[in-house]
Chain A
Amino acid sequence: MSRIEGRFRELARDGRRALIPFVTAGDPSPEVSVETLHAMVSAGADIVEVGIPFSDPMADGPAVQRASERALAGGMTLSGALEIVRRFRVRDDSTPLVMMGYMNPIETRGCGAFADAAAEAGADGVITVDLPPEEDAELCDALRRHGLDPIYLVSPTSSDERVRLICERASGFVYYVSLKGVTGAGHLDVDAVRGNVRRVKAATELPVGVGFGVRDARSAAAIAEVADAVVVASVLLEESEKLADRPEAIPGRVAEHVAAMRRAMDGAS
């Protein structure tokens, strides 16, 4: 059983929802990223996501874009992101970790070489934002060979047929994009999300996480009522940005946000 599957089983047993916060690797330094990951786990994260910075994050909003720019300005690379995962695993062998990024850095490294390195570093799943099932044969096979879960996005514009196609390939969990837009947008419609999560659940036994548009404790709690997991990124990256001149304060500040969401979600479930 993968770490991700195991974690969702524990949560289901306890009647809780997963909270999945996000860090852009190297924003603004590898040390801060590693500390932030640990702080998020202490604050109640069940799974963590590590973003691989890319120069052209087409599907992301300004918060992720700027976090990527900060990380790249600090010299972050795909290898650097894998090193952050490795360092996180030194002190935490139980929290599932998902890497999220775009195809070009991965393909440049080579799908097989990347999967090998990601598994060796201690990652559990990979989301490749710009790689739909139609184009993913090589990477998906490589990930599976190395015991990694390929995690896919499903969106409000995905037809039932596409939802089925995606769910057939997915493992770990399915990531439902809560709105038509980029990460960090603010027009979340919980009723629409509820209906769409139901649509995904009809196609798979896998847990369904929801992200893109979770901004605060209230929206986290609302999403926790309709989904198995809540993914949050942009609002945390905005905090990181505000503390650009005091990076040592980033892990603590991000953890406060995660803890507030955790409390709100547990109160709601």
Chain B
Amino acid sequence: MPTLANEPAEGRLIGAFPDESGHFGRYGGTFIAETLMGPVKELGEAYESCRRDPAFQAEFEAELRHYVGRPSPLYFARRWSEKIGGARVYLKREDLNHTGAHKVNNTVGQALLAQRMGKRRIIAETGAGQHGVAAATVAARLGLECVVYMGEEDVERQAPNVYRMKLLGASVVPVTSGSKTLKDALNEAMRDWVTNVDDTYYIIGTVAGPHPYPSMVRDFNSVIGREARTQILEQAGRLPDAVVACVGGGSNAIGMFHPFLDDPEVRMYGVEAGGDGVETGRHAAPLSAGRVGVLHGNRTYLMADPNGQIIPTHSISAGLDYPGVGPEHAWLKDSGRASYVSVTDREALSAFHRLTRWEGIIPALESSHALAYAERLGVEMGADDIIIVNLSGRGDKDIPTIAALEGIEA
């Protein structure tokens, strides 16, 4: 089964991007200060050699199997599908991974790479805390020092994950600059990296950042779509009509989409955080309502004002509260291969409750955005149609947020 080392074949999309300079069409690239160019190139070379090394791949796959608990199930949500009425919806259960989200696929891969590069100190940024937890987890497993940067606002709204990271031995640094959320945590992690480049490895948690991060994080997460593709063929005997995933930075979505790129019959929907509604301006949906620009090392769609300043985003879900998006998504949008839509906080929250009550599965608020769109899509489709939703994480971390919003007493 082809894994990390996919090579481009004639006329195929898988393996065709990025180009050698890290571009997806006009997107991506390497927009960073000179001090980081050396370390980023070194990382690119190290990753390239690991990608082609069967021993590295075998080690990565063994970790995914024995430590993460892969393959994650593909679960037919029969009751939910029937109550919604319409298509049959399957859930890719990334919530059942160790640490409770897809994020661990990437941190396992990058931590192995860090180890190969001889780096003893791991840094990471986090929004919802899922990536921070996943980074702290692999750092504990490999005996590496770990520092996680987290916006002060997120530290408050994701308290359970902050505590988890600390239990795992990581230092959590609250970031007070700028908007005090994920984008500022990323800035701060970059500053740490540029200061400690000799011994430090920066695990970016999404398919953004300078080349090679967007393609590296995609490769590590593509196990999601590869498994889902195999599983749906086994269970339903055919490919799905649509795959749906939420998009903040876009790592779970690209992990689901990528292995289906060359199956033209499979439609792809990336679901952005519509916040209060895209028309209100209070959202985190750069692909739906943003403009092209340069942030955090790559060119992509951004939430920015007419003067090129990054503007505050809003989402009920900390993990989607990011003003940029991975450059491959920008390319997929422009090329028309994937569609990008948005759902509001309110729609996500109501889908959260429906899945919880009808299937006994508490989804993350991030993933609830994908569920809400799958409901919208499903009712327009027939009972023979198949949708796969990437259930990218579990919702335990969101329980305090939801309780506070809805006034439920603990």
Contacts and interface: CB of A to CB of B under 8 A. Distances in A.
Contact of B31 (A55, A103, A177): A103
A134 interface: yes
Most buried by A among B178, B187, B307: B307
B383 interface: no
A195 to B, nearest CB: 16
Nearest to A102: B294
State which size class the interface on A falls in: 35 or more
Most buried by B among A69, A77, A155, A166: A155
B233 interface: no
B32 A56 contact: no
Most buried by A among B30, B33, B178, B195: B33
A48 B345 CA distance: 48
Nearest to B211: A134
Contact of B308 (A78, A131, A132, A154): A78
B198 to A, nearest CB: 8
A105 B309 contact: yes
A65 interface: yes
A134 B304 contact: no
A262 B36 CA distance: 32
Contacts of B14: none
B191 A108 contact: no
Given A78-B308, A105-B309, A106-B308, A158 B32 contact: no
B308 A134 contact: no
A63 to B, nearest CB: 11
Contacts of A177: 33-35
Contacts of B38: 155, 157-159, 162
A129 B195 CA distance: 16
A32 interface: no
A156 interface: yes
A14 interface: no
A104 B302 contact: yes
Contact of A130 (B32, B39, B178, B195): B32
Nearest to B23: A135
A108 B32 contact: no
A135 B29 contact: yes
A181 B177 CA distance: 17
B177 A182 contact: no
Nearest to A53: B309
A155 B29 contact: no
B34 A134 contact: no
Given A103-B31, A155-B35, A72 B309 contact: yes
Contacts of B294: 102-104, 107, 130
B194 A59 contact: yes
A130 B308 contact: no
A54 B309 contact: yes
A162 B40 CA distance: 13
A104 B33 contact: no
Interface string A163-181: 0001000000000010011
A157 B42 CA distance: 11
A155 B35 CA distance: 5
B397 interface: no
B309 to A, nearest CB: 4
A62 interface: yes
A130 B31 contact: yes
Contact of A105 (B21, B190, B297, B308): B308
B388 interface: no
Contacts of A181: 35, 191, 194-195
Nearest to B311: A55
Given A132-B34, A155-B34, A158-B37, A56 B295 contact: yes
A46 B259 CA distance: 58
Nearest to B179: A55
Contacts of A61: 191
Contacts of B11: none
B197 A157 contact: yes
B306 interface: yes
Nearest to B196: A180
Interface in A62-88: 62, 65-66, 69, 72, 77-79
A66 B176 CA distance: 11
A180 B197 contact: yes
Contact of B293 (A65, A108, A135, A185): A108
Nearest to B309: A55
Nearest to B190: A58
A244 B311 CA distance: 24
A58 B191 contact: yes
A106 B32 CA distance: 15
Given A56-B187, A180-B197, A181-B195, A104 B308 contact: yes
Nearest to A166: B34
Interface string B164-199: 000000000000011000011001001100111110
12 contacts: A59-B191, A69-B177, A77-B307, A104-B304, A104-B308, A104-B310, A105-B308, A107-B293, A130-B31, A134-B21, A158-B37, A182-B191
Given A59-B35, A59-B194, A108-B307, 9 more contacts: A56-B178, A58-B296, A129-B33, A135-B29, A156-B35, A157-B37, A157-B39, A181-B35, A181-B195
**Which 10 pairs across A and B sit closest by C-beta, in order of nearness?**
A108-B308, A105-B308, A157-B38, A59-B33, A155-B35, A181-B195, A77-B307, A103-B294, A153-B34, A55-B310
Interface of A: 54-59, 61-62, 65-66, 69, 72, 77-79, 102-109, 129-132, 134-135, 152-159, 162, 166, 177, 180-182, 185
